[in-house]
Amino acid sequence: MIFATGIDASIMMLSITDPLQFIQAPPFGLKPYSDSAYIASSALSQFNWGPMAWMMFAPAAILIGYVTYRKNKPTQKLSDNFSFLQGNRPGKKVLRVLIDFLVVIGIIGGLGSSIGMEVPRTSRVFSAVTNIPNTIWLQLGIFFVLFVLLGLTVYKGLNGGIDRLSMFNIYLAVVFLALILAVSPTGTLLADWGKSLGVLAQKFIPMSTNIHPSPTQQDTIFYWGWWLTFMPLMGTFIAKISRGRTIRQILLGMLGYGVPGCFLFHAILGGYAMWLQRTGVIDLVSVLNHHSQADVIVAVIATLPLKKLMLIFYAISCFIFLAATISGAAYVLSSFTSTPLYGKEPSRFNRMSWVFIFLAFAFSLVLVGGFEVIQTISVLAGLPLTIVCLLVLFSIYRLVKHDRELIFTPTELKNTDRRQKYTVERKFAVRGKLILSFNNYHNLSRP
C-alpha cells in the first residue's frame, strides 16, 4: 500500500521520458548523447526517485506514529502532533489552522498535478489501441471511469478496498515489467543499470547540493516540491498501517522496498527506452521534442511484440496505480477534515467529496494543458510545506528529548523489572533507537 500510494502511475511514464530529456543536456558538463551522458542521465533519473524522495516521507511518518502509538493521543490532523502548538491561545490556534490549510492545499496541488499528467497520457495510449480520437471527450470519459472505480474503492475503505487495489496494482506492474525484460536485451539493460548506480553513488552529494541553474536542476526542484506535497499524505498513511513497528523498521521498509522498487522501473522501462534511442531503433528524443511524452510512451511500447495487448496492459496498470494513489489520499484528507473520529473511519460522503475535488482540480489542469504548468503548480504547492517539514523535525526533537524511557543503555535493560515492560522488538531497538509502540515482554517472547 505504501509503494502504490506514494508513487502512482507517474513512474511508469517519467521513468521513460526523463532520461530522454536529460541526455540532451546531461549533468556534470558531459557531451550530449555521449556514452557517459546516457549513464549519467539514468543516474539522475534514479536520484530524483531515490532515497532523497522516500526520506521526505519519513519525518511525518515518525512524528504521527510516535504521538499516536507512543503517547496514545488521537491525531487526525498533522497539527495535532505538534506538542508546542497545543492549547487554546489564539496564536497557537491560528498556527494550527494555517499548518492544516497548507497541508490540504499541498496534497491537492501535488495529487492534482499527478492526475493532470497521467490522464492525458493514458488517453493517448487508449486512443492508440482503439483508434478513438484523442480529444477532451475521451479524457472526460476516462475521468468518469476513474471516478466510478474510486467510488467503489473508497466506499470499501482501508480494509477490503484500498489494500486490495494496491496489491492488484503491484502484481500488475511487476508482470508488465517482467514482460518487457523478457523481450528486451536483458544483459545490456542490467549492465547499464549497474553503471548508473555507480554514478549515482559517486555523484549523490554533488547532485544533492547543486546550486547552479540548469534544466536538470529545475527538474530536481520540481521533484522535491512534488515529494513534499506527498509528505503529509504519506506520513499519515505509513503511520496508520505501521502500528507495532520500530522507527528503524519503517525507515528500512521505505528504503528497502520503495527505493529499489523505483530503481527497478528505471532500470527496465527507462533502460529499454534509452537502448532504443542509443541503437537507433527509433528517435525517441525527436518524438519527445516535436510531439509529447504520451507519444513517446506509445512509440516505446509499439516496439514490443503484441503491441496492442501491451498498450492495453500499460494503460490498465497506469489506471490502477492512479486509482490506488487517489484512494489513499482521499482517505487521509477525509480524516484531516472530519470531526473527532475516535478510532472510526471517515464518513463515505467525506471520502467521496475529496475524490470529486481531486478529479475536478485535475481536469482543470488538463484543460489548461502543458507539463510546465503542472511543474509550476507542484513547486508552488510544495514550497510552503518546507516550513511544515522543519516544524515536524523540531517537534520530533522536542518529544524525543523529553522522553527518558526511549534512550537507555544495555546495562539498564538487564534489570528484570524494567525489562518486562518492553517487547522483544524493543530489545533489539535499544541504544538510542526509537520505537512506536510496545506491549508486555512476556506475551511476545512466548514460543
pLDDT in tens, 307-339: 888 888 888 777 777 777 777 777 777 777 766
Q: From the CA atom positions of the chain, what is the Rg in Å?
A: 23
Say yes or no: 374 and 421 in one domain.
Answer: no
**CA distances from residue 188 to 248, 267, 278, 324, 399 in whole angstroms, order as listed:** 36, 10, 12, 33, 50
- Checking if the pLDDT of 410 tops 80, the result is no
Query: What whole-number distance in Å separates Cα of residue 328 and Cα of residue 322?
Result: 10
Q: What is the DSSP string of 345-367?
A: PPPHHHHHHHHHHHHHHHHHHHH
The pLDDT value given to residue 412: 46
Q: From the CB of residue 43, how many other CB atoms can be counted at a distance below 10 Å?
A: 27
Say yes or no: 85 and 203 in one domain.
Answer: yes
Say yes or no: 281 and 263 in one domain.
Answer: yes
Sorting pLDDT into bands at 50, 70 and 90, what band is 370? Answer: low
CATH number, domain of 152, equals 1.20.1740.10
Query: What whole-number distance in Å separates Cα of residue 395 and Cα of residue 387?
Result: 12
- Checking if the pLDDT of 439 tops 60, the result is no
Least confident of 20-34, 334-348, 402-416: 402-416
pLDDT above 70: percentage of residues in the chain:
81
Q: One-letter amino acid identity for 119?
A: V
Query: What whole-number distance in Å separates Cα of residue 4 and Cα of residue 286?
Result: 32
Alpha helices, H only, 157-185: 163-183
* Residue range 420-439: mean pLDDT, rounded: 40
All cell numbers assigned to 128 = 492508440
Residue with cell 532500470: 267
Helix (H, G, I), strand (E, B) or coil at 435: strand
- Checking if the pLDDT of 357 tops 60, the result is yes
Say yes or no: 373 and 298 in one domain.
Answer: yes
**CA distances from residue 392 to 27, 153, 208, 241, 247 in whole angstroms, order as listed:** 33, 31, 21, 20, 15
Q: One-letter amino acid identity for 37?
A: A
The closest alpha carbon to 207, from 216, 198, 215, belongs to: 216
Across 292-323, b (16+ Cβ under 10 Å) vs e yields: bbbbbbbbbbebbeeeeebbbbbbbbbbbbbb
Say yes or no: 394 and 435 in one domain.
Answer: no
Say yes or no: 173 and 319 in one domain.
Answer: yes
* Residue range 152-164: mean pLDDT, rounded: 59
* DSSP category for residue 434: -
The closest alpha carbon to 12, from 156, 249, 238, 176, belongs to: 176
Say yes or no: 422 and 443 in one domain.
Answer: yes
- Tell me how far apart the 2 most distant CA atoms of the chain are, in Å: 73
Q: From the CB of residue 85, how many other CB atoms can be counted at a distance below 10 Å?
A: 18
Contact 302, 48 (CB under 8 A): no
Say yes or no: 413 and 295 in one domain.
Answer: no
Least confident of 46-50, 106-110, 201-205, 302-306: 106-110
All cell numbers assigned to 436 = 512506536
Say yes or no: 166 and 212 in one domain.
Answer: yes
Mean of pLDDT over the chain: 78
**CA distances from residue 415 to 91, 193, 332, 407, 409 in whole angstroms, order as listed:** 45, 50, 41, 15, 11
Q: Rounded to 5 degrees, what angle do the CA atoms 348, 353, 356 make?
A: 130
- Checking if the pLDDT of 24 tops 60, the result is yes
Query: What whole-number distance in Å separates Cα of residue 260 and Cα of residue 396?
Result: 27
The pLDDT value given to residue 425: 37
The pLDDT value given to residue 220: 83
Contact 226, 378 (CB under 8 A): yes
Domain residues for the domain of 434 are 407-447
Say yes or no: 437 and 323 in one domain.
Answer: no
Start-to-end C-alpha separation, the chain = 30
> Based on the structure, what is the number of domains in the chain?
2
Query: What whole-number distance in Å separates Cα of residue 250 and Cα of residue 115?
Result: 27
Query: What whole-number distance in Å separates Cα of residue 355 and Cα of residue 187?
Result: 43
Least confident of 22-26, 65-69, 192-196, 239-243: 239-243
Say yes or no: 130 and 234 in one domain.
Answer: yes
Query: What whole-number distance in Å separates Cα of residue 337 and Cα of residue 335?
Result: 5
Contact 177, 267 (CB under 8 A): no
Q: Say which residue, 265 or 120, is predicted with more confidence.
A: 265
Sorting pLDDT into bands at 50, 70 and 90, what band is 1? Answer: low
All cell numbers assigned to 243 = 502500528
Q: Say which residue, 159 or 149, is predicted with more confidence.
A: 149
Which H or E run contains 373?
Answer: helix 371-382
The pLDDT value given to residue 430: 34
pLDDT in tens, 88-113: 888 888 888 888 888 888 888 777 77
Q: What share of the chain is helix, strand, coil (3-state, %, to 5)?
A: 80, 0, 20
Sorting pLDDT into bands at 50, 70 and 90, what band is 164? Answer: low
Say yes or no: 279 and 414 in one domain.
Answer: no
pLDDT in tens, 243-288: 777 788 888 888 888 888 889 889 999 999 999 999 989 999 999 9
